[in-house]
Amino acid sequence: MTMATKQEILRDKLAEYLQADKPAKSRILDHLQDVSKLHRKAIIRRLKRLQSGHMPDSERRGRKEVYHLRVTIALKDIWQTANGICAERLQPAVADYVKVLRRDRMWPHNEAATRLLLAMSLGTMKNRIAAFTKIRSGPGWSTTKPSSLKEIIPIRRGPWQNPDPGQGEVDTVAHCGPSLRGDYAYSVQYTDVAVIWTSLSAQWNKGEKSTRESIERIKRRLPFPLKGIDPDSGGEFINYLIKGWCDSQTPAVAMTRIRPYHKNDHARIEQKNYVNIRQFLGYARLDDKGQIKLMNELYDLLEDYINFFLPSVKCLKKERTGSKYRRVYDQAQTAYQRALAHKRVAPAVKTQLQAKYATLNPKTLKREIDVLIRKILTKSKTDYSNT
């Protein structure tokens, strides 16, 4: 028996039920319970609602909905502006996004929806974001090959122990599509260990000279002095040209490397190669030399977007319970917030960062980033982003 049929039976018996005395009502309820298989209390509640005229055709059960459609739309607006990051990273930054978008008159949502959005819990935000459509990219290729000059660069032993800002991991990302043949673009990424600051540079192929120029560009764009780099054992980094450049700087830039074939030694940057590069440029083959200039224009914007508006979490500790590990993370913060809170970042640097932050808007940056990405991918001779 369908719910509609049960509802019709209750309507037919409503008038008789209302006019009956107590023993007769009990007999009617017995009959309805036997026919409909509903609980006795449920029948009484439904008859009362039918009597009052407030019985909807499709009754919604459970708690009253608090976060209505307008709140979900406002959340999706911020989620898209933040490039679809997870709720754990997004929730602490929602208030900052709203503040900046209001400042620049780019927040179209009403006061009631905004108030509810700012009060939304992490669990509710995770549930809402899980329903949003996400675009996934396919896998890529690895182009790292060990250098024959490994003895000139010492291996970093053990985890990082609270280094100063300016010491970080560095890696290359190949934009080769499904084939390693021929010439194509590379991206070099630097991730600071202390404050998770990201710097990016594009280059043609991964020759020693091009890689040195990328590191020089990264050094110029860092808000604090570059003190040390920690690449993998690829030949683009482990060579006399890069080592000589590091030693010639004033002060010298310390250089270490991870163990060959141990990607876990580079856990920070290996994950961020996808989040900071692949999520934007995908796995397309970028084999036009003219794309390098556009890529560096893109990376100028991406650095501001990632460092000032995309929060990230740091693993504080890893505990083992039986055969499983449990990781404990800190609260999500942007690299900008971490730099302001770090005791070993100079006050003058913090003042410069605050002045720059006051001129930035995440929605405007995202719009300009999307325009440049379309230009770069349109310029590709062959687009393999969907393979």
CATH of the domain at 201: 3.30.420.10
Contact between 257 and 155 under an 8 Å Cβ cutoff? The reply is yes
Is residue 383 in a domain? no
Query: How high is the pLDDT of residue 369?
Result: 97
Residue 32, H or E segment: helix 22-36
Percent of the chain clearing pLDDT 90 (strictly above): 60
Instruction: For 185-241, give the DSSP string.
Output: EEEEEEEETTT--EEEEEEETT-HHHHHHHHHHHHHH-SS---EEE--SBTTTSSHH
> Could you tell me if 228 and 92 lie in one domain?
no
**pLDDT tens by residue, 307-335:** 999 999 988 888 888 888 888 889 999 99
Query: How high is the pLDDT of residue 62?
Result: 61
Alpha-carbon 228 to chain mean position: 27
- Name the residue with higher pLDDT: 55 or 256: 256
**pLDDT tens by residue, 81-110:** 999 999 999 999 999 999 999 999 999 999
pLDDT band per the 50, 70, 90 thresholds, residue 171: very high
Query: How high is the pLDDT of residue 219?
Result: 96
> Could you tell me if 236 and 125 lie in one domain?
no
Phi-psi region of 114 (alpha: psi -120 to 50; beta: other; left: phi over 0): alpha
Residue 58 has pLDDT above 60, yes or no: no
Query: How high is the pLDDT of residue 160?
Result: 81
> Could you tell me if 17 and 116 lie in one domain?
no
Over residues 339-358, mean pLDDT: 96
Is residue 57 in a domain? no
> Could you tell me if 109 and 254 lie in one domain?
no
Is residue 387 in a domain? no
Is residue 64 in a domain? no
> Could you tell me if 262 and 122 lie in one domain?
no
Overall number of domains in the chain: 3
Residue 381 has pLDDT above 60, yes or no: no
Residue 205: exposure state from Cβ atoms within 10 A (0-12, 13-18, ≥19) = middle
pLDDT band per the 50, 70, 90 thresholds, residue 234: confident
Lowest mean pLDDT among 27-36, 74-83, 96-105, 290-299: 27-36
Residue 52 has pLDDT above 70, yes or no: yes
pLDDT band per the 50, 70, 90 thresholds, residue 137: low
> Could you tell me if 333 and 233 lie in one domain?
yes
Per the listing, tokens 């709203």 go with: 98
pLDDT band per the 50, 70, 90 thresholds, residue 148: low
Residue 237 has pLDDT above 80, yes or no: yes
Per the listing, tokens 């006051």 go with: 358
Percent of the chain clearing pLDDT 70 (strictly above): 90
User: Which structural domain, as residue segments, surrounds residue 31?
Assistant: 3-52
> Could you tell me if 182 and 249 lie in one domain?
yes
Query: How high is the pLDDT of residue 242?
Result: 93
Query: How high is the pLDDT of residue 384?
Result: 44
What's the longest Cα–Cα distance across the chain?
101
Q: Which residues pair with 65 in a beta bridge?
A: none
Residue 179 has pLDDT above 90, yes or no: no
Is residue 317 in a domain? yes
Distances (CA, A) of 44 to 33, 100, 176, 346: 10, 53, 69, 71
For residue 154, whether the previous peptide bond is cis, meaning omega lies within 30 degrees of 0, is: no
**pLDDT tens by residue, 270-284:** 889 999 999 999 999
Is residue 302 in a domain? yes
- pTM of the entire structure? 0.78
Residue 354 has pLDDT above 80, yes or no: yes
Return mean pLDDT, the chain.
88
Distance (Å, whole) CA 266 – CA 259: 9
Half-sphere exposure of 266 (CA within 13 A, CB side): 27
Distance (Å, whole) CA 360 – CA 81: 13
Distances (CA, A) of 368 to 135, 299, 365: 19, 11, 5
Residue 165 has pLDDT above 80, yes or no: yes
Is residue 333 in a domain? yes
Is residue 144 in a domain? no
Lowest mean pLDDT among 89-103, 107-121, 373-387: 373-387
pLDDT band per the 50, 70, 90 thresholds, residue 386: very low
> Could you tell me if 240 and 290 lie in one domain?
yes
> Could you tell me if 104 and 202 lie in one domain?
no
> Could you tell me if 241 and 301 lie in one domain?
yes
Distance (Å, whole) CA 156 – CA 265: 9
> Could you tell me if 114 and 171 lie in one domain?
no
> Could you tell me if 213 and 301 lie in one domain?
yes
